[in-house]
Amino acid sequence: MTDLIQAVVNGLLIGAVFALVAVGLTLIYGVMDVINFAHGEMLMLGMYTSFFAWSLLGLDPLLSIPITGVAIALTGAFMYFTAVGRVLGKSPLAQVMVTFGLQVFLRGLAQFLWKPDTRTVTDPLLGSVRWEIGGVVIGGPQLAMAIGALITTGAIAWFMSRTRLGGAIRAAGEDAPAASLMGIDPRKMYALCWVIAGLVTGVAGALLMNRYSASPTAGVMFVLMAFVVVAFGGFGSIYGAAIAGLLVGVAQGVVGLYAPSYTLAAALALYLLVVTVRPQGLLGTR
């Protein structure tokens, strides 16, 4: 029984991170109908930024979160103004090719600059911290990642649903012509959407460096799960991504306890089960 509870707890902790990684992805799709295939590479750049903040400035990944968030937010703005913004209103294939091209470019750039070697933060601030409750062990890095992910996800959900600027972004995503008539510039809202998505992804990158290593392909595993989480929770729904992330994490944790080779299959099976009953995902509306 203790092993099962441990698996559930581990699943919840990593599921919170899945949800945070998915937030940027679902935000961009929900507002702009653009699938960002370079999302994993933005996460990878966030992890490298956190690593270099540690190696060059001596900052622990938890302390480098503001730097990493701002750096990837600026990266998101750069991607929007130089590439993505230029194909808005064009065919969906053009948008796919642009974000796919950014994915290839950023990953190749990382391999050129930093080589395929993995970069690890040794002895992070909470690296040796662990708690044991009733035989269930919770590691400091995992708990820090989960708490940071939940706080950030909740903050973005609050911003989008409770603030005037968040409402303007949602209005631009739901009906751009009508939003223009109300004085909202959809293009500015789209750019802000990429900035927020970059900010969130940068925070996720810094949190992940508490336990994982940076490499040119570091974002692949997490963005794959992010796509599953976004579709599972419903495209464009931040709350849906949060719930789906936790469910996927628990499913992977429990299945991993008995059949470690089938954790990805478990996540995909859970997703297929839900979309069979509800094609738009848990909280999706389209």
Residue type, 153: T
Helices 65-82, 39-57: inter-axial angle, 10-degree rounding: 140
Tokens for 67, please give them: 């730097």
Q: Give residue 179's Cα distance to chain centre.
A: 28
**CATH class, range 1-115+143-277:** mainly alpha
What pLDDT, on a 0 to 100 scale, did the predictor assign at position 193? Answer: 93
CB 232 within 8 A of CB 248: yes
Check if the beta carbon of residue 244 is closer than 8 Å to that of residue 233. yes
Q: What angle do CA 249, 251, 254 make, to 5 degrees?
A: 105
Model confidence at 52, pLDDT cuts 50, 70, 90, reads: very high
**Tens digit of pLDDT for each residue in 184-194?**
899 999 999 99
pLDDT band at 220 (very low <50, low <70, confident <90, very high): confident
Of 29-33, 76-80, 155-159, 279-283, minimum mean pLDDT range: 279-283
Is the pTM higher than 0.85? The answer reads yes
DSSP H helical ranges for the chain: 2-32, 39-57, 65-82, 92-114, 140-162, 164-174, 176-181, 186-208, 218-233, 238-258, 263-277
Half-sphere exposure of 249 (CA within 13 A, CB side): 26
Coil, strand or helix: which one is 136? strand
Residue-wise pLDDT for 238-281, tens only, equals 888 889 889 988 988 888 888 888 888 888 888 888 888 888 88
Domain ranges of the chain: 1-115+143-277
Please provide residue 222's backbone torsions phi and psi, each rounded to the nearest 5 degrees: -70, -35
Q: Is the pLDDT of residue 285 over 70?
A: no
Q: Is 119 strand, coil or helix?
A: strand
